[in-house]
Amino acid sequence: MQNLLYFFASIIFYCSVRSQDHRQYRQVHDASGRLQPPPPFNESYQMIVLTGGKVYGTPVEANTATEDLCMPHRKDVVMAGGRILSMMEPSKTAAFINSIRDSQLTILPISVQDQIIIPGLVDVHVHAIGGGGEQGPYSRTPESHLSQLIRGGLTTIVGILGTDGVTRSLSSLLQKMKSLEHDGLSTWMWTGSYRIPIVTLTGSLQQDVLLIDKVLGAGELALSDHRSSWPSKSELKQLLSDVRVAGMLSGKSGVIHFHMGSAPTKIDLLWQILNETTIPIQHMYLTHMSSRGDDLIAEARKWIKAGGMCDFTADAEMLNETDTINTLNKFRAEKLPLKQITVSSDAYGSFPQYDSSGRLISYSMGLPDLTLRTIQNLVLKHSWPVEEAIQFSTANPATYLNLKRKGFLAEGYDADILVLNQTDLSPLYVFGRGQILKTPTWIKHDMFEHISGSP
């Protein structure tokens, strides 16, 4: 306990400076849609402790019994300096909080009795500066809003362009990612767009991945889609070779995020490349694999069995879609390795619907809460254990994309935390790197005890 206090004391200066900087920034931007938490959350704290919750999403130990994998952990979560500093036994928490009283630390205990605590959600496919445009300039979708991202439980996002790599720029996307990071989210991005030759920030795919911290790889590069530039096999080989080497040199995953359409060619080119080269399948990350018809779902099954990674686009309830939920249920029943599947929202991307002749007949937009809704549907409607349902937007994308300190709740990990109502799995609190990003609207100030060791 004493060693832990010494460590906490060493981060007081860091926490104080960070909180002051963040508070000054928010005074300028409060009118922009930023969620402004009520007292006592608009004060600065060096430490926050979540008590009484049921914790899911802890790293699985090798010797964990099968029947224990989906059981929640009764731990109190201590966060400070942007990290999870302790997963504390509840019997020790009161004594720990009392021991802080004489220190210079300010601590906010929050009781979340019997509510569900999970890692903040990771969304690998967000059109953060907007997308769309397939129906002309007026059909461009709007830029993302921080408050909407937070309400969807997202604490980590990967920004993306899409169809329009001409009037939507990577430099604008990069600036948006930096802005959202400043406001408490963790952000990365894909370089490129639908087309080949790909657009880049530096003039080179390898340089983008190697020299720009936020760039994980290229995407979303369209294949088998009427909006694709129909790259050749040799062009894809070169891109995959470049991104693999850049990933090795930078310590990143180095992948290409492929947008899959519903053309009969499906993923034929990628199978050919796998058969003809030694490029590992892990560098090919396929998205929209559950929502383009039964033929592509069959390809997804083969891809996963071969060791590949698939991203499913969350069902849009306003379109009465159920493809992703149905596919997840089917693949689970078949005992496919679910760790090789992620679910993303396609937030702010357009959802155009075409008739058999290729004419656009309807137009809608992805919303950032669709990944959370997938979790809610799996647990509440299809009786999935919480631990299994959350993996597609927590552990799986974080592990695959090598997002360090993301996707799990454990000591040393970033304090990206989502507290869900145990009844309907609606978000109560969202923490991004230890910052309070969202609190319940029904909150009562007397539910919290603000403890300060300051005179």
What tens-digit pLDDT sequence spans the chain (455 residues)?
545 544 454 454 344 434 444 433 333 333 344 445 555 555 567 899 999 999 999 998 644 544 556 788 999 999 999 999 999 999 999 999 888 877 778 889 999 999 999 999 999 999 999 987 777 777 788 899 999 999 999 999 999 998 888 889 999 999 999 999 999 999 999 999 999 999 999 999 999 999 999 999 999 999 998 888 999 999 999 999 999 999 999 999 999 999 999 899 999 999 999 999 999 999 999 999 998 889 999 999 999 999 999 999 999 887 778 999 999 999 999 999 999 999 999 999 877 676 677 676 666 788 999 999 999 999 999 999 999 999 999 999 999 999 999 999 999 999 999 999 999 999 999 999 998 998 776 555 444 555 655 43
Same domain, 355 and 289: yes
Spell out the residues 6+ positions from residue 189 whose beta carbon is closer than 8 angstroms to its own.
158, 159, 160, 170, 173, 174, 177, 214, 215, 216
The CATH number of residue 159's host domain is: 3.20.20.140
Same domain, 73 and 134: no
Specify the number of domains making up the chain.
2
Catalytic hit among 183, 323, 346, 369: 346
In this predicted model, what pLDDT tens digit does every residue of 121-146 receive, in sequence order?
999 999 999 987 777 777 788 899 99
Which of these three, 364, 381, 400, is where a domain ends?
A: 400
Residues 268 and 258: their CA atoms lie apart, in Å, by 13
Annotated catalytic residue 346: yes
Same domain, 200 and 243: yes
Domain containing 258 equals 121-400
pTM of whole model > 0.85? yes
Same domain, 109 and 130: no
Same domain, 320 and 184: yes
Same domain, 138 and 171: yes
Same domain, 386 and 424: no
Which of these three, 359, 380, 400, is where a domain ends?
A: 400
Q: Which two tokens stand for residue 329?
A: 């249920």
Spell out the residues 6+ positions from residue 335 whose beta carbon is closer than 8 angstroms to its own.
none
Same domain, 319 and 299: yes
- Supply the angle between the helices 323-333 and 370-380 in degrees, to the nearest 10: 50
In this predicted model, what pLDDT tens digit does every residue of 283-303 receive, in sequence order?
999 999 998 889 999 999 999
The CATH number of residue 88's host domain is: 2.30.40.10
Same domain, 370 and 419: no
Q: Which pLDDT belongs to residue 90?
A: 95
Residues 149 and 25: their CA atoms lie apart, in Å, by 19
Same domain, 275 and 394: yes
Sign of CA pseudo-dihedral 293, 343, 367, 442: positive
Same domain, 68 and 146: no
User: If 0-12 CB within 10 Å is exposed, 13-18 middle and 19+ buried, where does residue 221 land?
Assistant: buried
Same domain, 329 and 256: yes
Phi, psi of 244 (to 5 degrees): -65, -50
